[in-house]
Amino acid sequence: MATAQPKKLLILNILDIMKRRTDADHRLSQQDIIRILRDDYAMSVDRKAVKRNLMDLIEYGFQIEYTEIVRKGKTGEDEPIFTDWYLEHEFSDAELRLLIDSLLFSRHIPNSQCRELIEKLEGLSNDYFKSHVRHVRNLQENKPSNKSLFLTIEVLDQAISRRRQVSFLYNAYDVDKKLHPRKGEDGQEKVHIVNPYQMVATNGKYYLICNYNKYGNVANCRLDRITGIKLLDTPAKPMKEVRGLENGLDLPKHMAEHIYMFSGDSVRVTFRAKRYLVNDVIDWFGKDVKLSDVSEDEMTVTVQVNEEAMKLWAMQYALHVKVLSPQSMKDEIKLNLETALSKYTE
């Protein structure tokens, strides 16, 4: 049996009951609340005290709903009865499940941190919701091993807000399946200094849109590959001094042009594609693509896109897409396809 608690905790205990035990599908009468207080909190209270505290919570701002019915009292007069009490939670179960699913299938949050976040999200609902998500398991093999991700995000958030540079080690996987810092020409771990502008999530990964201090173009760095990040005192380079960001960062445009988040310049590309690819084209390049010469079977597509990303995308869709221009890209893709085909037919 629970240890008896002081009466001053009554309102907190009632709030706890409303949070954990109620929702629109699970409502409690005042007698139910009295019973739970007695059994689980070792508190003996009357119906008037319960109602008074519930009304105080409502007055304080908690979205507690109830049903008011009228019955005849002992003297024959109408007597209002308040019942079916429940808390309208800030997030619906469907909204919480959507957030939890986003974490489960995220490829940039380590397992331990993912579990902690899910537990916090579960705490925003009630006991009934928690019982529905216990069977869910995440995809272990898709999770990164870099556990400093949240620290990286925190430091970058400060740097972007304060317009400061950051330094960090940028890592890559080796055959041992572990992250190792990239090294400079001297064989030592290379410290990168960048000007950070924006963090974005795309293709299941988290990226930093930035500029390497000694170069003039925009770059995209994987956050889960960053370790040893430090906030520097030096001011960040203004965007207008970075090629491609002269007029500021147009995020939708940037994401559409950098479909694989490769660094480098964007070029104007025209390709012929099967008409049934229209969904894929819009998913990858956005609605600003230009469609022309549309027939029953094919269409011509014109996009502004990162050059290296477009080469990879065209190779991926080689059976359905033919690049028309620029000619240099068309020739390179053709050569790559011929080389790949010859290796498989040798």
Tens digit of each residue's pLDDT (9 = 90 or more) over 183-226: 988 989 999 999 999 998 777 778 899 999 889 999 999 898 89
User: One-letter amino acid identity for 311?
Assistant: K
Neighbours of 104 (CB within 10 A): 16
Indicate if 169 and 125 belong to the same structural domain: no
Which residues lie below 8 Å from residue 97, measured CB to CB, with a gap of 6+? 133
In which domain, by residue range, is 313 found? 266-345
Q: How many helices (H) and strands (E) does the chain have?
A: 11, 12
Residue 77: which pLDDT band, with cuts at 50, 70 and 90? confident
Indicate if 73 and 38 belong to the same structural domain: yes
Give a yes or no: residue 255 inside a domain.
no
Indicate if 295 and 336 belong to the same structural domain: yes
Nearest to 262, CA basis, from 309, 304, 228, 229? 309
Give a yes or no: residue 290 inside a domain.
yes
Please report the pLDDT score of residue 135 as a whole number. 47
How remote is the C-alpha of 70 from its chain's centroid? 48
**What is the residue whose two structure tokens read 């925003």?**
124
Nearest to 312, CA basis, from 342, 284, 275? 284
Give a yes or no: residue 341 inside a domain.
yes
Give a yes or no: residue 258 inside a domain.
no
Please report the pLDDT score of residue 132 as a whole number. 57
Q: What percent of the chain has pLDDT over 90?
A: 47
Q: What is the CATH number of the domain that holds 305?
A: 3.30.70
Indicate if 228 and 155 belong to the same structural domain: yes
Indicate if 234 and 275 belong to the same structural domain: no
Give a yes or no: residue 14 inside a domain.
yes
Count Cβ atoms within 10 A of the Cβ of residue 200 and give its class: 0-12 exposed, 13-18 middle, 19 or more buried: middle
Higher-pLDDT residue of 32, 136 = 32
Residue 139 pLDDT > 60: no
Please report the pLDDT score of residue 188 as a whole number. 92
DSSP of 79-137, one letter per residue?
EEEEEEEEE--SS-HHHHHHHHHHHHT-SSS-HHHHHHHHHHHHTTS-HHHHHHHTT--
Which residues lie below 8 Å from residue 242, measured CB to CB, with a gap of 6+? 195, 211, 216, 217, 218
Q: Is 270 helix (H, G, I), strand (E, B) or coil?
A: strand
Q: Is 209 helix (H, G, I), strand (E, B) or coil?
A: strand
Residue 4: which pLDDT band, with cuts at 50, 70 and 90? low
Q: What is the CATH number of the domain that holds 43?
A: 1.10.10.10
Indicate if 165 and 234 belong to the same structural domain: yes
Mean pLDDT for the stretch of residues 253-276 = 84
Interval 143-170: pLDDT, tens: 555 678 888 989 999 999 999 999 999 9
Interval 225-246: pLDDT, tens: 899 999 999 999 999 999 888 8
Domain boundary among 202, 224, 249: 249
Indicate if 333 and 303 belong to the same structural domain: yes
Predicted model pTM: 0.60
How remote is the C-alpha of 43 from its chain's centroid? 42
Domain boundary among 249, 278, 307: 249
Give a yes or no: residue 254 inside a domain.
no
Residue 137 pLDDT > 60: no
Q: What is the overall mean pLDDT for the chain?
A: 86
Read off the tokens for 95.
Answer: 């909204």
Whole-number Å distance between alpha carbons of 269 and 303: 5
How many structural domains comprise the chain? 4
Count Cβ atoms within 10 A of the Cβ of residue 156 and give its class: 0-12 exposed, 13-18 middle, 19 or more buried: buried
Give a yes or no: residue 261 inside a domain.
no
Task: Please answer whether residues 251 and 198 qualify as being in contact, where contact means their C-beta atoms are separated by less than 8 angstroms.
Answer: yes
Residue 117 pLDDT > 90: no
Indicate if 280 and 205 belong to the same structural domain: no
Give a yes or no: residue 1 inside a domain.
no
Higher-pLDDT residue of 56, 113 = 56
Indicate if 153 and 243 belong to the same structural domain: yes
Neighbours of 148 (CB within 10 A): 17
Please report the pLDDT score of residue 131 as a whole number. 52
Indicate if 108 and 72 belong to the same structural domain: no
